[in-house]
Structure 1
Amino acid sequence: REVRNFLVANAVYWCEEFHIDGLRVDAVASMLYLDYSREPGQWRPNEFGGNDNPDAVAFLQEMNATVYRRCPGVITVAEESTAWDGVTRPTDRGGLGFGLKWNMGWMHDSLVYVSKDPVHRKYHHNEMTFSMVYAYSENFVLPISHDEVVHGKQSLVSKMPGDWWQRRANHRAYLGFMWAHPGKQLLFMGQEFAQGGEWSPDHGPDWWLLDPAYGAEPDHRGVRDLVRDLNTIYRGTPALWQRDTEPSGFEWVVGDAADDNVFAFLRFDAAGTPLLAVSNFSPVVRHHYRLGAPDDIPAWREVLNTDLAKYGGGDVRNPEPLTPDSTPWQGIRLTLPPLATIWLCPAVPPCDVERPPSH
């Protein structure tokens, strides 16, 4: 009890005295399961004959409940690698009480996909769609975790295939896909400006890559500007977060275009206003690419395009407004930039999304 009290008090101390934004608890599974990483004979069942650890459950519930009660606005995140039920369920409903759960499945699967050469991505298409099978089982954070980009595993942009331009284009397209996907987004140091080298605790991020005085390439600043714009648009677009935990807030438009390396889906806000996100993970421009669209939207406009010149892209754009075809089934024809993600919202009536200013 003394140790348990010390740990709970320590969590509150960091939040109250140092005003940190949140706590991430590592290796939660090794706490929850008595037999985790143990061979038969190396562990004993609990008093009910199971392999779960009731003391660990009680401790985590007390820690989360205490932190959330005493420190409003702080979040707690569980790095929990199993399918334990209720990691982010409130404690008064029997859950562990974490605010978010590390989505290790999405992280692993999506990194496998984007690390493949585009010609091979069609064989891994389901790596990018499978996360929606379980997306609403917990409240997830989408992390590009420290575990995946250090110790010889390469930085995020260096995992991408192709030449340096294609790597950065893949990096931008992936971030656009990530910000539109249900869940909260979390980058690791240097990913917000496409640092090519692994992060080092000895000297921190390579900030000089953003400084023209040191011969910095403008594309690094372009990725930084993209991340800023992603955050700006995200904050002002309820469709991207208002129904984040509701299955009805998401709808696939194209989830099976494996040969094209294309993904398209809709996000909806509480009023039903959609945002259409389309990612083209192939290195070719796709002209007149037809997608289904809601019948009640007479026109669309581009609010984000990761291929814009200001981000370091080729500046392949769509004309405005984009109007549906007069065909038996509603649809719009898009120009999909290579290795890019675009977001579209209704043009009539105008949606609340305002484009970020040119940099």
Structure 2
Amino acid sequence: MDKFGNLTGWDLEGFHCGGDTEAWRRLGSHVVTVDDPVRGPVRGTRFAVWAPNAARVQVIGDFNWWQGDDMEIVPGSGVWALWVEGVDVGTQYKYKLQHSDGTWQEKADPYARFADIPPGNASIVWESTHDWGEQESRWLQQRAETNVYESQMSIYEVHLGSWRPGLSYLELAEQLPAYVKWQGYTHVELMPVMAHPFPGSWGYQVTGYYAPDARLGTPDDFRVLVEALHAEGIGVILDWVPGHFPKDDWALGRFDGTALYEHADPRQGEQLDWGTYVFNFGRNEVKSFLVSNALYWVQQFHVDALRVDAVASMLYLDYSRPEGGWVPNQFGGRENLEAIDLLRYVNKHLYEREPGVIMIAEESTSFDGVTRPTNWNGLGFGFKWNMGWMNDTLRYISRDPFHRQYHHDDLTFAMVYAYSENFILPISHDEVVHGKGSMLNKIPQDDWRKFATLRAFYSYMWSFPGKQLLFMGQEFAQRPEWSEATGLEWWVDSLHGHNGIRQLIRRMNEIQADHPALYELDCSPAGFTWINADDSAHNTYSYVRASRDGQLVACVTNFSPNPIAIYPVRLPRPGRWVEILNTNSTDFDGNGDYLNSNGVLASPTVAGADEWAAACLNVPPLGSVWLRHESE
């Protein structure tokens, strides 16, 4: 009988060369049937683990009373394997490794596709029985045919464990898609769902890269959630964390008694900010592990996009390190060439392999070419979070309105580099934790100013070039910072002010969906023209958004508490402009003043002066107005 469960050294050649993009099919635990000369086909589970420096490896589990069955090295590889008859789905297990010094240590399976609920850390044998429906096939076909750069992308970022605390994947599948669709978002971004022992890490310290968090259900339960979101027309973005991993002694760290997945030198192999290990991106088996993991979530769970966490920490060898605390690359530079090579490899492979997939970088520096294709010497991401825009705008709205006039360029500067990358404008979880305050409480002075300013800011954000991302709870302006331990303050979402913000987000998503001018040319300079970028005296910004077929939407935002009853502007076309949004409307808990209910008439200017038409409109205090050109 085959003691390795049909696994050979040839099967592992790609893994050792760094080119196995589906390594989870060969390593980990798999229920397989082998042929017995006497009994015929016999069902059992094959266990396989990479531990080339271990002196001895056993698999222990509830099937052998945790006493250990010896595994053997697959010839021609550093992988230990064993097929065990009768072991089936649901079996808990670990690997027990003897180090070269004779000591033993128990480890979770790096390729486990299911894991025990913390504080348990056993791996669990799992095989999916989920049947993706016909509607899901249509979704994947539609995804493959969609030009995401010229499509609406309004993203709701969610921490599943605290959105509505206590809900399982299956319960979330009943509630989350309906809410996201009602709000008008096109995508959800899920903070990491991979297995992690410490809830306070929000999933960013991953111990089970292939296993969905068991606190919320099984891997197939998570598939049900993804399919339910797709059924409502909502794309699923998943946070992916290849930059670092925690030091828990039962997980990846020093796996076989040596630095296997990480560098041995702490100047290369440890991330000081987070107290974690850094992957050895140049090691072939680690490359196989990571590229396979990226493909695994896209292929096996039908995730539509991966948002890669902390890319800057991967790109630079001296990231957050003291002088002398890092090792230069082979050319004496600070760039992590091995990590750059890995990111290009992952991005290129996923874009070629999975039509319509999106790769998104959370990258906080000015590294060149993050969203440039790999064949143009770029990193190959589809989008990059615009951290500069986020920092500048949040700093601006946190100022006293009187002082904003002296910092007008905080909001205009983003246009200097707006088309250097394909950007997403993020107001993420990172901006409403650790003493930074909620969005509402970043804004000074009384509640009228807080709510009005936040409405104006969101309107500015939704009309600015780039795709939008907003973290849960900020759509109804909850007052306290987010805490994963307590969840959201849902009880305030119907109160005056809070409900107005939520209704505004919903309405802007609807308007955006109906007006390609507000998204179609997000990545092209042809989609944006300033009306007036220099009106610092009024704290006011005005510009026009355009679509390919000539649709025009004029956007004017006043960050001053003073209304402007007759605000002169020049518009690119004469004729009637209809107000499609006014953040001071009573629909959004404004007071209903300074609306443009009858529209705005733009008149041609004196011949030869310029080609734009003159108009006057009402602009509310701390408010925003959108106007659509309707007729000449």
Q: TM-score, normalised by structure 1?
A: 0.91
Compare 97-106 and 325-334 and name the one that shifted more: 325-334
Displacement after TM superposition at 1:325 (Å): 4.3
Could you tell me how far apart the structure 2 residues matched to 1:102 and 1:346 are? 31
Could you tell me how far apart the structure 1 residues matched to 2:356 and 2:438 are? 31
Aligned partner of 2:629 in structure 1 is: 346
Alignment counterpart, residue 290 of structure 1, candidates 568, 571, 574: 568
Aligned partner of 1:231 in structure 2 is: 509
Aligned partner of 2:394 in structure 1 is: 111
Letter in 2 for 1:304: L
Aligned partner of 2:525 in structure 1 is: 247
Q: Deviations over 1:2-48 (max 9, x none)?
A: 11211111122222333334322222122112232334433343233
- 1:137–1:6 CA distance, 2 compared to 1 (3 A): same
Alignment counterpart, residue 128 of structure 1, candidates 406, 411, 423: 411
Aligned partner of 1:355 in structure 2 is: none
- 1:347–1:272 CA distance, 2 compared to 1 (3 A): closer
Alignment counterpart, residue 179 of structure 1, candidates 462, 465, 469: 462
Letter in 2 for 1:122: Q
Alignment counterpart, residue 299 of structure 1, candidates 576, 580, 583: 576
> Is the Cα–Cα contact under 8 Å of residues 109 and 127 in structure 1 kept in the other structure?
yes
> Are 1:94 and 2:377 counterparts?
yes
Aligned partner of 1:315 in structure 2 is: 592
Displacement after TM superposition at 1:276 (Å): 0.3
Displacement after TM superposition at 1:73 (Å): 3.5
> Are 1:22 and 2:22 counterparts?
no
> Is the Cα–Cα contact under 8 Å of residues 571 and 615 in structure 2 kept in the other structure?
yes
Compare 23-32 and 79-88 and name the one that shifted more: 23-32
Could you tell me how far apart the structure 1 residues matched to 2:520 and 2:438 are? 31
Could you tell me how far apart the structure 1 residues matched to 2:338 and 2:591 are? 56
Decide which structure has greater helix share: 1
Could you tell me how far apart the structure 2 residues matched to 1:298 and 1:333 are? 12
Could you tell me how far apart the structure 2 residues matched to 1:304 and 1:57 are? 44
Could you tell me how far apart the structure 2 residues matched to 1:340 and 1:62 are? 46
Could you tell me how far apart the structure 2 residues matched to 1:250 and 1:327 are? 22
Letter in 1 for 2:578: R
Q: Deviations over 1:60-100 (max 9, x none)?
A: 01111223333333322212122111101112222111111
> Are 1:272 and 2:555 counterparts?
no
Q: Deviations over 1:293-351 (max 9, x none)?
A: 11x331101011111101111112114231124653531101101111111011216xx
Aligned partner of 2:426 in structure 1 is: 143
Letter in 1 for 2:411: M
Matches within 5 A, 1:77-92: 77-92=360-375
Percent identity over the alignment is 50
Displacement after TM superposition at 1:274 (Å): 1.6
Matches within 5 A, 1:138-217: 138-210=421-493, 216-217=494-495
> Is the Cα–Cα contact under 8 Å of residues 300 and 320 in structure 1 kept in the other structure?
no
- 1:205–1:35 CA distance, 2 compared to 1 (3 A): same
Could you tell me how far apart the structure 1 residues matched to 2:505 and 2:343 are? 34
DSSP 3-state at the match of 1:347: strand
Q: Deviations over 1:118-155 (max 9, x none)?
A: 11110111001000000000011100122221011110
Compare 2-11 and 319-328 and name the one that shifted more: 319-328
Aligned partner of 1:64 in structure 2 is: 347
DSSP 3-state at the match of 1:218: coil
Could you tell me how far apart the structure 2 residues matched to 1:155 and 1:222 are? 17
> Is the Cα–Cα contact under 8 Å of residues 574 and 603 in structure 2 kept in the other structure?
no
DSSP 3-state at the match of 1:344: strand
Alignment counterpart, residue 281 of structure 1, candidates 550, 559, 562: 559
Letter in 2 for 1:230: M
Aligned partner of 1:4 in structure 2 is: 287
Higher RCO (CA 8 Å, separation ≥ 6 residues): 1
DSSP 3-state at the match of 1:299: strand
> Are 1:259 and 2:537 counterparts?
yes
DSSP 3-state at the match of 1:59: helix
> Is the Cα–Cα contact under 8 Å of residues 441 and 479 in structure 2 kept in the other structure?
yes
Unaligned 5+ residue runs, structure 2? 1-283
- Measured on the aligned residues, the alpha-carbon RMSD in Å equals 1.7
Could you tell me how far apart the structure 2 residues matched to 1:132 and 1:322 are? 27
> Is the Cα–Cα contact under 8 Å of residues 543 and 555 in structure 2 kept in the other structure?
yes
Unaligned 5+ residue runs, structure 1? 211-215, 350-359
DSSP 3-state at the match of 2:330: coil
Alignment counterpart, residue 497 of structure 2, candidates 215, 219, 224: 219
> Is the Cα–Cα contact under 8 Å of residues 267 and 276 in structure 1 kept in the other structure?
yes
Letter in 1 for 2:557: S
Aligned partner of 1:353 in structure 2 is: none
Letter in 2 for 1:2: E
Could you tell me how far apart the structure 2 residues matched to 1:297 and 1:193 are? 37
Could you tell me how far apart the structure 1 residues matched to 2:542 and 2:329 are? 47
Decide which structure has greater strand share: 2
Bigger radius of gyration among the two: 2
Displacement after TM superposition at 1:291 (Å): 0.5
Could you tell me how far apart the structure 1 residues matched to 2:504 and 2:545 are? 20
Compare 34-43 and 163-172 and name the one that shifted more: 34-43
Q: TM-score, normalised by structure 2?
A: 0.52
Could you tell me how far apart the structure 2 residues matched to 1:202 and 1:41 are? 39
